Amino acid sequence: MKKILVVDDVQEITELVVMILESELDQYEFLEFSSGNQAISYLKESPQDVDLIICDHNMPDGTGSDVYTFIKDNDLQIPYIHMSTGLHTEFEKLKSLLEDHPANACMTKPFDDEILTSLTMSALSLKKDPSEKKYTQLSIVNVSPYIGEFFKVYIEIDNKPRLLFNDSTTTDQVKIIELKNKGLTHVLVETDEYHQWIKSKLSHLNKMVGECHFEEPHTIKQLTDTLFKHSLLIINQANPKELNLEKMTKSFEIVLNTLWDKSEIKKDLLKVFSHLGYLSGHSAICMVLSWLYTKKHKQGDLSLFHKLSYASLLHDISLPDDQTSALLTRSDVDKSEYKESEKDFILQHPNYSAEKLESLDVIDSDTLRIIKEHHEKPDGSGYPKSLSKSNSHKLSTAFQFILTLAHIIYTKKDLDEIRNDDRLKGFELKDYQELLDCLQRN
């Protein structure tokens, strides 16, 4: 059986990563290691058995850089997912990570179970099963330490789930051990209950490992790094040669530096980008898409990039604190029920944002128009009232496409489905074909 190595010195992290992934990947065996040197020792003996490595960076006995250097030096061609509180570009030996293998990816802590699953499936060239399952199968070895935390646990008899116990007592552990000794390898739990438990464990774990990399940035570099982290969804998926991360990051710094001295805007930017959620996520993705669009359509015209970047960062700048707090950390933007007050504000916020920016000398008339003519319904689509593709400014239409695409990427849509997404059908895709082509790493 092919193996997936999970390497982290925090046991709770390796256990939870395995539990998240095993429900989708029962054809793989997961091996947990607590140090880089343990993983390297295994790779020396059986590299041919390994299909993927998910590895933390900072560990006391061999770092993620040590593991990755071993992979490169021995030309193992094993996909590698870097999992750390730091950016891969901060580590000299990992700077070329995304360029070295089309399936390599990076993921920052705190991490999200859906992103972890998506990156893993992509690295293994697998598709997630779209069918909804009432029960999730888990390895009895992995679930045993947590069995008391599940309300209902089942075993499969004659292809049907049979309730093993209905609540959690100390005798349940004894029962599980007895069944394991008799050869039972898996149990079933209710899928909805399992996902709720995963979210709860992740919330606890993310607080334990610390959320320092989402604290309020205090320098241009910190804010640039924060933008980078918020846009990992697209950076992991895009062609790294098209991105040119070093040059893109420097361009981000120029844009942010221009806004840094504007105290009222700086305050709003920090408010948004100090949180992991929809506002920060889709705005950061817009920045990356604006970079790619400018490279492809205007041969790197920085003035165009600046206009699109300002619009990416500032188009939601008018959101007051109550709306911001409601939207900052929202991740299920397509499913959430919006209050009438929120819907009304969404309809009006393009004008509000433009009015707030009119007095700033760094924001030109083109940028104001882009912001005025942008609009996002809660599902990431739509034009402002009285505007459409036919009477919207060409640059506004481009930005509207970028926003819509950013929303699709943020909501973790499979990139193979982007071209068929209903929200893109209002655009002339041939005008944006080169941009879409950048979003394919392989």
List pLDDT tens digits, range 233-269: 788 778 777 888 878 888 888 888 888 888 778 888 8
pTM (2 d.p.): 0.71
Same structural domain for residues 198 and 110? no
Averaged pLDDT for residues 376-401:
69
Same structural domain for residues 106 and 154? no
Same structural domain for residues 36 and 157? no
Does residue 93 have a pLDDT over 90?
A: no
Q: Tens digits of per-residue pLDDT, 285-315? A: 999 999 999 988 766 577 899 999 999 999 8
Same structural domain for residues 303 and 413? yes
- On whether residue 164 sits in a domain, the answer given is yes
CATH code of residue 351: 1.10.3210.10
Tell me the two tokens of residue 374. 């942008």
Does residue 214 have a pLDDT over 50?
A: no
- On whether residue 130 sits in a domain, the answer given is no
Same structural domain for residues 200 and 233? no
Averaged pLDDT for residues 224-241:
79
Percent of the chain with pLDDT over 90: 20
- On whether residue 393 sits in a domain, the answer given is yes
* H helix runs in 46-155, sequence order: 64-73, 97-100, 113-123, 140-143
- On whether residue 129 sits in a domain, the answer given is no
φ and ψ at 32, to 5 degrees?
-105, 130
- On whether residue 442 sits in a domain, the answer given is no
Same structural domain for residues 256 and 357? yes
Which stretches of 71-176 are assigned E, i.e. beta strand?
Answer: 80-84, 105-108, 135-139, 153-157, 160-165
Same structural domain for residues 200 and 156? yes
Burial of 376 per CB tally in 10 Å (0-12, 13-18, 19+):
buried
Q: Which residues contact 97 (CB under 8 A, 6 or more apart)?
A: 68, 80, 82, 88, 104, 106
Q: Tens digits of per-residue pLDDT, 122-141? A: 889 887 666 778 888 888 87
User: Which of 208, 225, 246 is at the close of a domain?
Assistant: 208
- On whether residue 372 sits in a domain, the answer given is yes
CATH code of residue 77: 3.40.50.2300
> What is the distance between the alpha carbons of residues 340 and 378, in angstroms, rounded to a whole number?
12
Bridge partner residues of 53 (DSSP): 5, 80
Query: What local confidence, expressed as pLDDT, does residue 213 receive?
Result: 43
Same structural domain for residues 276 and 369? yes
> What is the distance between the alpha carbons of residues 87 and 189, in angstroms, rounded to a whole number?
36
- On whether residue 12 sits in a domain, the answer given is yes
Tell me the two tokens of residue 394. 């060409």
Do 322 and 286 contact (CB within 8 A), yes or no? no
Do 419 and 273 contact (CB within 8 A), yes or no? no
Same structural domain for residues 32 and 104? yes
How many domains does the chain fold into? Answer: 3
User: Which of 180, 208, 236 is at the close of a domain?
Assistant: 208
Same structural domain for residues 40 and 151? no
Tell me the two tokens of residue 60. 């006391």
Same structural domain for residues 280 and 315? yes
Identity at 239, one-letter amino acid code: N
Query: What local confidence, expressed as pLDDT, does residue 126 receive?
Result: 80
Same structural domain for residues 322 and 415? yes
> What is the distance between the alpha carbons of residues 119 and 20, in angstroms, rounded to a whole number?
12
- Greater model confidence, 11 or 389: 11
Percent of the chain with pLDDT over 70: 79
Categorize the per-residue pLDDT at 54 as very low, low, confident or very high, splitting at 50, 70 and 90: very high
Provide the 8-state DSSP code for 419.
Answer: G
| Range from 72-76, 146-150, 191-195 carrying the lowest mean pLDDT | 146-150
User: Which of 208, 235, 258 is at the close of a domain?
Assistant: 208
- On whether residue 82 sits in a domain, the answer given is yes
Q: Which domain holds residue 143?
A: 135-208
